[in-house]
Each structure stands twice: as C-alpha cells, then as structure tokens.
Structure 1
Amino acid sequence: MNRNVFKILTLDEYRQLFPEGRAEPSAWAGTDFDLHDGFIHLSALAQVRNTANLFFKTHPSVKVLEIDWTKIQHQTRWECPDSGCSHESCGDPALDRPELVSGSRVYPHCYGPVELPTVVHAVHDYRQIDGVYPELL
C-alpha cells in the first residue's frame, strides 16, 4: 500500500529543479503555478492518472516525484479544488491516509517548502500511451 504523495512536473520544470551537474536545492516552494496559488499541488497515487490527463495532456511525457508523506504531513492539508469547499463537504475518508482517497475529491496541498532531496522517495518517468496517461504504478 502506497502512502506517499506525488508531484507531476513537466520536463522543463524537472530540468529547472534538477539541473544536470548541479546539486539539488535544499528547499523548494513549487512550480510557478504552485507559487501563484500559494501551495504545492500534489496528488495521492489514486489521483495521479486523472491529474495528468486533465492538466498535462499536451505533454506526452512528464516526471513524477514520489514524496514521502510522513515528512510533509504537518504542512499539508487535504482540500477540494473548488473554492470554499472543505474536506467535510467532500466526504474525505481520512485526511492523513493518502492511500484511501481513491474516490475522493480532495487533494493534498502542501503549504510550505519541500525539503529536497530528503522528501523525494523516487522519480518516475511517466509517458502517455495513445495520448492518455495510464495508471502510474
């Protein structure tokens, strides 16, 4: 059972975060989109496919950071993407159990910098098949 959370990055965003020949940054506040919204957009494993197909359809390949949930849970809230909605109204099964959000409308939003590389469990190459992202794992 996977209890980690995931951050999808375009290849350009990934290259900016991990430029070849340079050390990884120690703290990261997110992509330009994340900075605009004030939090780092993340997904539970069960949400990665839909997130990729909704927001990264024009990118045939992306990188997915698998982040150790236990290292960021204190600065993460599970929220509905709809403004003004809370997890209670969405019926989230368990705010601290990312493996249970399969049918949930709430997503993990990290409010604070992510300490890299300590939180990154793995980096996955994620490619479309016939124009659609399949399940990640």
Structure 2
Amino acid sequence: MSEFPVTAYKVLTADQMAVLERDGIFLGAPIDLADGYIHLSTCEQLTETVDKHFAGRTDLHVAAVDLGSFGASLKWEESRGGQLFPHLYGPLLLEAVFAYGPLERLADGSVKLPVAG
C-alpha cells in the first residue's frame, strides 16, 4: 500500500474549469506553466492552498483527481512548510477527474470536497 493518497485536488477558476470540460485537457494555470508542473493538493492541504493562493476569489472550482493514472509524471515534492505536495508534470486530463464542482465551504471554514455523481 502506498504511503501517498490516491486522490488529490486541483483548484481552478471558472474559465479554467470550462476549458477542461470543453477540451478534456488542462495544460495549467499561469503559475503551473511558470513552474513547469500542475500544482495539486491533498485533502489536508486544500483549504490552506485556497486561503493562501486564491483569497478573495469567488469564481473557483475544485476538481478531484485520481492520481493512479499518471505514473512517473506525478511527483511528490517538498513545498510549503516542508510538506510533500503532488505535482503533475504533464497535462491534467478530464478522464482523470472523477468529481468536480464550485468551491464551497463547510461550517468550520474548510473547503468541501467535490462528490462524484
């Protein structure tokens, strides 16, 4: 059994989500393109990612990504606070996204995870 989660999450603007839905592929946000990989977060990292990098944005979506299909293009690398984050060195394909929806918050302020269905 892997020590890493099998699901990660990508925060997308409404426009970026529309591109993923329309084209079936997302090549990355400007920060992803600049860094050379698509930034993903685990469920434990997601709320902090949204609060730190998307504060004040109201047009956000969260996509749940099945990490099992990426093989060597997915790397777990140290980032914020020494945590290991999933970084995707390649495009995000819609077929790897099993749930997505507008970003919502729970009563405690944490980001609600999208549910397939």
How much does 1:32 deviate?
Answer: 1.7
Aligned pair in 2 of structure 1 residues 12, 27: CA closer, same or farther (>3 Å)? Answer: closer
Match of 1:13 in 2: 16
Between the aligned residues of both structures, percent identity stands at: 28
The normalised TM-score by structure 2 is 0.76
Between the aligned partners of 2:95 and 2:20, the Cα distance in structure 1 is 14
Conserved 8 A contact 1:7-1:65: yes
Instruction: Give the structure with the higher percent helix.
Output: 2
Between the aligned partners of 1:11 and 1:27, the Cα distance in structure 2 is 15
Segment of structure 1 superposing worse, 120-129 or 33-42: 120-129
Mind listing any 5+ residue stretches in structure 1 that lack a counterpart?
19-23, 83-89, 91-104
Segment of structure 1 superposing worse, 71-80 or 24-33: 24-33
Structure 1 residue 126 and structure 2 residue 82: aligned?
A: no
What is the identity, as a one-letter code, of the residue corresponding to 2:85? Y
Match of 1:62 in 2: 60
Q: Which has the higher contact order (CA 8 A, sep 6+)?
A: 1
Aligned pair in 2 of structure 1 residues 13, 67: CA closer, same or farther (>3 Å)? Answer: same
Between the aligned partners of 1:41 and 1:127, the Cα distance in structure 2 is 20
Match of 1:101 in 2: none
State the structure with more CA Rg: 1
Aligned pair in 2 of structure 1 residues 14, 27: CA closer, same or farther (>3 Å)? Answer: closer
Conserved 8 A contact 1:5-1:42: yes
Residues matched between the structures, number: 108
Match of 2:94 in 1: 117
How much does 1:57 deviate?
Answer: 0.9
Runs (4+) off by over 6 Å: none
Deviations 1:69-99 (A, max 9, x none): 10124311111226xxxxxxx4xxxxxxxxx
Instruction: Give the structure with the higher percent strand.
Output: 2
Match of 1:108 in 2: 86
Between the aligned partners of 2:101 and 2:111, the Cα distance in structure 1 is 12
Aligned pair in 2 of structure 1 residues 33, 75: CA closer, same or farther (>3 Å)? Answer: same
The normalised TM-score by structure 1 is 0.67
How much does 1:134 deviate?
Answer: 1.6
Between the aligned partners of 2:84 and 2:13, the Cα distance in structure 1 is 22
Aligned pair in 2 of structure 1 residues 81, 7: CA closer, same or farther (>3 Å)? Answer: same
What is the identity, as a one-letter code, of the residue corresponding to 1:112? G
